[in-house]
Every structure is written in C-alpha cells, then in structure tokens.
A and B are shown apart, each in its own frame.
Chain A
Amino acid sequence: MSFGAQLFLAVLEGTVSASVLAVTALGLSLVFGVMRVVNVAHGEFFMLGAVIAWSVAFTVGDMPLVSFLIALIVGPLVVGGIAVAVDWLILKRIDYNPEGTIVATIGLLYIIQQATLILYGPEARAVEPPFYFLIQFPWFGYSGYKLIVVGISLMLLLGTWYGLTRTRLGLYMRATQYDREIAQAFGIPVRRVYAAVFALGGGLAAIAGVLVVPIQQAHYLMGHNPLLMSFIVVIVGGLGSLRGTLLAAFVIGISDGVISVFFTPTLAKIVATLLVSLVLVVRPAGLFGEKEP
C-alpha cells in the first residue's frame, strides 16, 4: 500500500481513538481540575459504560440503533449515580484528601472490576454498531461507524464546553476550581458542585465506553488503558485547561497513529511514550497549564 495511503489511514485511526480519548479525558480533567482528586477508578466508569451498552443491547434484542440510543442515556445515568454515591459515601468522608483518594479509588477499582466479573463475566463481548456501513477507499475499507463516533464525540465536547461557559453549574464549577473557600463564601454549594462534577466526569467516561463498544468489546479489564491515557492527556494538556486536554488528546492520539507508520509496532509505542514525556520535560506545566504552584 502506498505511503500516502498508510499515512492517511494512520491519521484516520488516530482521529477516532483521539476523539474517544478526548471525551474520557475531559471527564477526568473536570474531576481533577475542580476537585483536585485523582480518580483511579475513572477507567472503570468507562468500562461500566461499555458493559451497560452490551447489557442494553442484550435485553433490547436485535435493534442496534434503539439500544445504542438507550445506552447513551442509561449508561451515563447509572454511572453518574454510582459516582454520586461514591462521592457521598467515601470521598466526602475523607475530605477529598489527595492521598486518601488514591487508596480509596484503588479500592473502588477492585470492587467495580470484581462485581463486573461476577455479574457480567470474564469474556469480551461485542455489540452491533447502531448503523454499519463500510466506506471503501481505493486502498482499503473503513468502518463508517468509526467516523460517526468522531462526530458524536465532537458534539459532546462542544456541549460540555457550552455547559461550562454558559450555564450556572459551569460558573459554579469554574469558581470552585479557582478557589474553594472563596466559592463557598459566595454561597456556592461546593459540596453539591463536587457531587455534580464527579457524576459528570463519570458520565462522560461512561458515554465514551458506550461509543467504543461497537469498535472494541466490553471486557471487565478494559478500563486500564483509558485511565492511563486520559490521565496522561490531562497533564500534558495542562491541569485545569480544557482546551489543553482536547489538544493533547488529538496530538497524542494522532501522533501515536502516525509514528506507527515509521517503526515496528512496539518500537513505535516506545518512541511515542518517550515523546509524550519529553513534552512535559520541556513544558512542565503542560501545553496550556498555568505555571504550577
């Protein structure tokens, strides 16, 4: 296959994974930025979204589009609910202490994974895409659904951005992120904002999971990579900077694809990994981060 075509394909692939990654990372970025909490279980929220999508598809039966739409609503709702519960039952009790949260969310990760293993099982299960059509390029065929994923992701990102900049909750969140005490002084219900943010973060991860199931499969260990990648993306983008998160997601996602054209797969991964870390060495605060305190 011609070099140009390879590159084109790589960019295509990069864009798809980048857009899913962006949605997942956005969730983590909000939680991280506003609550200053590292949610190690974020990947599990992603996984739950995928598993829920499968369960919905299984119960609804042979109506891919319907079950897809239902999952898009049920997934984030269920996961958001779990997130709120976690916030009230655990995070609040340890007063969002950063170190405590790491242990607590590691515990949460175990609980969610094992529960999924018991109720859902260890197999990887596929889900029918809502609409399936093959785009036949001169050099190769490509799943049309993947492009739709990109579309939906972009809409989600725009929606979130709008929510953050134009709505009251968004204002509250930015205020809380800027300074918790001051926000409280201004009568912002910080506790509820936290719960909302944690739910929103989980919900976004869940939606990403729903989107990805028809491409990958639902598996109870699938949360590991999304967690690492979105964590990386958030920091490289710059703590608390949403556009940074998004930019980083696309830079990393696409460069990963492109680099793979030039090296053998594993070597490509090594190179990509080192490049990412170098970004931070050169710009310790990330691409768009304010100088760290």
Chain B
Amino acid sequence: MTGRKQDRPWRTPMIVLVLLLAAQFVLPAYHHGNLTRIMVFAVFAIGYNLAFGYAGLLSLGHAMFFAAGLYGAGMSAHFLGFSMPLAFLFGGLCGLVLALAVGLVALRTRGVSFMIVTLMFSQAIFLTILYFNEFTRGDEGFVLAQEIRQLRFGETVLSLTDPTLRYNLALGLFAASYLLGVALLRSPIGRVLVALRENESRVQMLGYNTFGYRLLALSISGALSGLSGAAYALLFAYVGATFAATQYSIYPLLWVLLGGVGTALGPLIGTGLMFYLVDFASEITSSYLIVVGVVLVLLVIVFPKGVIGTLQEKWRGLRS
C-alpha cells in the first residue's frame, strides 16, 4: 500500500467485475458453468488469502471451515427446512463460529505449529463427519432436493437449477468478498494485519492487541470459507465429506500461491488457472496430472510471487 497506489484503488476491481458480468452473455454454456464454480471457489480462496496473505496465518485446515459452511447450509436446509437464504447465512455463521473456536486455541501457536494444529483440527472435523454418518451419510454425502433450492419472493419462485440465476448469485457472492478483500486491505485494520505479518512484536509495542487481530483475520477468513461452502451446497446440491478432507485444505493454499499471496485479485486468477489447467490437460492425455505437475513447477519458476504478485512487481519496477 504505497501512497501512489491509493490513486484509484477501485478501478481494477470494477473492471474485473464488469468483465465477469459481461462474460455470461458471451460464454458458451460449458464455460459459463465453469466460471460459476470458479467464482464460488474463488470466495474460498479469498477467505484463505485473508488469513494467509494478509495476516500471515498459514493454515493447513481451511477445509474444515468450507465444510462447516457446506454442512451448516446443507443440513439446516435438509433436516430443519431452512429456506435457501437462511441456510446460506447459517452456513457462513458456522464457518465463523468454528473459526472463532479454533482460533482461540490454535492461535496460541505460530508458524509451523499453527500449520499442524489447524491440520489436526481439520482432520478431527473430517472424522467427526464420518462418525455421525447417520445424519451426514459420511463420505457418500447426500443430495439437496430441488424443492429446497429455491428463492421465494411472495408468488415468484426462482429455482437454483437455472444457470443464469446461479451464475449471478455466484457473481454476487464473489463481488462482495472481492470488494471486502480490497476494502479490508485499505482499512486501518488491514494496515495492522499487514504490519502483523511483518513483525508482530513491533505491532504490540504500538499498543495493538495482536492476538485479537489474528483472531479477527481468521474469523473473517472462516466466515468467507463457510459462505463459499454454503454456496456450493445450495448451488450444486451436494454435501459430502470429501470437501472436509486434507486436499481441500491444500487447494486454497495452492490457488492463492498461484495467483499471488496478499493480492486482491490473485485468488480468482489462481482458482481459474488451476481449474482450466486440469480441464484442458485432461482432454489432451489421460496422464494429465503430469502436465499439471510440470506446469505448476514452471509457474513457480516464472512467477515466483504468483501470477498477479509477480506482474505487480514487474509493473512497479517499470514505473519507478
């Protein structure tokens, strides 16, 4: 956040959002659907970036927050008959509460220990989902009936099976999270978080309760991850333990690192990049994971700070 960068902070976000809004009219159905998914998962990545990229909290357990939202929304709609908007918010709340609870304990640790503690908690949540399989159906998961997945405004009923509605709901959620990310980074809180990442004890000597700020960062992060999970459950009608497994804690880390740690746009870029990497590679060859692997390695070598991060650096280099 240099002074010069404060010129037109909202320009890039607006361009990006307008492009996304326009994209739905030109994209073929398949990519239309893909972008919907990418935006939903980008929210997960944004959430992760808030903790990792802003406050320097490297968690290996974010799958538990995504799962909290997924199950919070899915089960409240499935068993308690929550309406779709209510279930969605409830999912976010679950992510938030879990993040608070986990944070109170896990944030006593730092660095690698924090990685492990979050990893273990997440594992425990995963096993717990299996343990209560009577309700969760464990790994197999369950489907949300179409009657549940509707928006009612008095007489008019909108079904979430409609791709256009789905796209724009995803876009709305993404836009909100994206702008929140940008705003937070420029807010006083954001300034503290960034400083926190660099030198925590110095921030304390300025009179800030750093534990509180780390907890705050983790909570917002958990809430966004939860909302992303809730959106997935309601938009794509499936709730399953796979999403609580370790690889879904690694994905957001991977997406953020690919896109650019601590950048506002990085999460979307990283998520999209990874999605299409797999999609295209798997069309060329059945051994597509080799292609994916090689590309990941090359990306790291070419874009050491992630795509957006490295480009930004190059750009600054050009200007000064």
- Chains A and B touch (C-beta atoms under 8 A apart): yes
For the complex formed, measure the closest distance between the CB of A265 and the CB atoms of chain B, giving whole angstroms.
Answer: 10
> Which residue of chain A has its CB nearest to the CB of B122?
A273
Q: Is A117's CB within 8 Å of the partner chain B? A: yes
- Chain B residues closer than 8 Å to A9, beta-carbon distance: none
A100 to B297, CA, bound (A): 9
Q: Is B295's CB within 8 Å of the partner chain A? A: yes
For the complex formed, measure the closest distance between the CB of A124 and the CB atoms of chain B, giving whole angstroms.
Answer: 19
Of the stretches A132-140, A179-187, A279-287, the one at the interface is A279-287
> Which residue of chain A has its CB nearest to the CB of B112?
A235
> Which residue of chain A has its CB nearest to the CB of B301?
A93
Q: Is B179's CB within 8 Å of the partner chain A? A: no
Q: Which of A99, A109, A276 is the one whose CB lies under 8 Å from B293?
A: A109
Q: Which of B109, B116, B130, B296 is the one whose CB lies under 8 Å from A104?
A: B296
Q: Is A280 within 8 A of B290, CB to CB?
A: no
A133 to B117, CA, bound (A): 41
Q: Is A115's CB within 8 Å of the partner chain B? A: yes
A40 to B110, CA, bound (A): 20
Contact status of A103 and B299, CB under 8 A, knowing A110-B292, A292-B111: yes
- Chain B residues closer than 8 Å to A167, beta-carbon distance: none
Q: Is A108's CB within 8 Å of the partner chain B? A: yes
Contact status of A97 and B120, CB under 8 A, knowing A111-B293, A266-B130, A292-B110: no
Q: Is B112 within 8 A of A239, CB to CB?
A: yes
Interface centre among A40, A231, A235, A236 (most CB of B within 10 A): A235
Task: List which B93-141 residues lie within 8 A (CB) of chain A.
Answer: 105-106, 108-113, 115-117, 119-121, 123-124, 127-128, 130-131
> Which residue of chain A has its CB nearest to the CB of B247?
A224
Q: Is A63's CB within 8 Å of the partner chain B? A: no
Chain B residues touching A, majority SS: helix
Q: Is A114's CB within 8 Å of the partner chain B? A: yes
Contact status of A100 and B109, CB under 8 A, knowing A107-B292, A277-B116: no
Q: Is A1's CB within 8 Å of the partner chain B? A: no
- Chain A residues closer than 8 Å to B295, beta-carbon distance: 107
Q: Is A111 within 8 A of B294, CB to CB?
A: yes
A231 to B294, CA, bound (A): 24
Task: List which A187-235 residues lie within 8 A (CB) of chain B.
Answer: 224, 228, 231-232, 235
Q: Is A267's CB within 8 Å of the partner chain B? A: yes
Q: Is B159's CB within 8 Å of the partner chain A? A: no
Q: Is B128 within 8 A of A270, CB to CB?
A: yes
A231 to B121, CA, bound (A): 15
A114 to B110, CA, bound (A): 34
Interface centre among A102, A231, A273 (most CB of B within 10 A): A273
Q: Is A273 within 8 A of B123, CB to CB?
A: yes
Q: Is B254's CB within 8 Å of the partner chain A? A: yes
A239 to B120, CA, bound (A): 17
A103 to B119, CA, bound (A): 18
- Chain A residues closer than 8 Å to B127, beta-carbon distance: 266, 269-270, 273
> Which residue of chain A has its CB nearest to the CB of B290?
A114
For the complex formed, measure the closest distance between the CB of B115 and the CB atoms of chain A, giving whole angstroms.
Answer: 7
Q: Is B116 within 8 A of A110, CB to CB?
A: no
Q: Which of B113, B250, B292 is the one whose CB lies under 8 Å from A292?
A: B113
Q: Which of A40, A274, A284 is the one whose CB lies under 8 Å from B109?
A: A284
A274 to B301, CA, bound (A): 38
- Chain B residues closer than 8 Å to A106, beta-carbon distance: 250, 254, 293, 296
Q: Is B289's CB within 8 Å of the partner chain A? A: yes
A274 to B292, CA, bound (A): 34
A235 to B300, CA, bound (A): 26
Contact with A along B274-318 (1 / 0, CB 8 A): 000000000000011110111111011100100000000000000
Interface centre among B113, B131, B250, B289 (most CB of A within 10 A): B113
> Which residue of chain B has its CB nearest to the CB of A110?
B293
A292 to B113, CA, bound (A): 10
Q: Is B258's CB within 8 Å of the partner chain A? A: yes
Q: Is A157's CB within 8 Å of the partner chain B? A: no
Q: Is B293 within 8 A of A235, CB to CB?
A: no
Contact with B along A255-293 (1 / 0, CB 8 A): 000000000001101100110110011001110000010
For the complex formed, measure the closest distance between the CB of A95 and the CB atoms of chain B, giving whole angstroms.
Answer: 8
> Which residue of chain A has its CB nearest to the CB of B257?
A103
For the complex formed, measure the closest distance between the CB of A202 and the CB atoms of chain B, giving whole angstroms.
Answer: 17
Q: Which of B108, B253, B289, B304 is the one whose CB lies under 8 Å from A114?
A: B289
Q: Is A108 within 8 A of B293, CB to CB?
A: yes
Q: Is A175's CB within 8 Å of the partner chain B? A: no
- Chain B residues closer than 8 Å to A148, beta-carbon distance: none
In the A-B complex, list the 4 residue pairs whose CB atoms are closest, starting with the nearest.
A107-B296, A110-B293, A111-B293, A277-B120
Kindly list 17 other residue pairs between chains A and B, CB separation below 8 angstroms, not including A100-B257, A100-B304, A239-B112: A100-B300, A102-B257, A103-B296, A104-B297, A106-B293, A108-B297, A110-B296, A111-B290, A114-B293, A115-B290, A224-B246, A266-B130, A267-B131, A270-B127, A277-B121, A277-B124, A284-B113
A-B contact pairs, 15 of them (CB 8 A): A94-B300, A99-B261, A100-B304, A102-B254, A102-B257, A106-B250, A110-B290, A113-B289, A114-B287, A270-B127, A273-B127, A274-B120, A276-B120, A277-B117, A286-B113
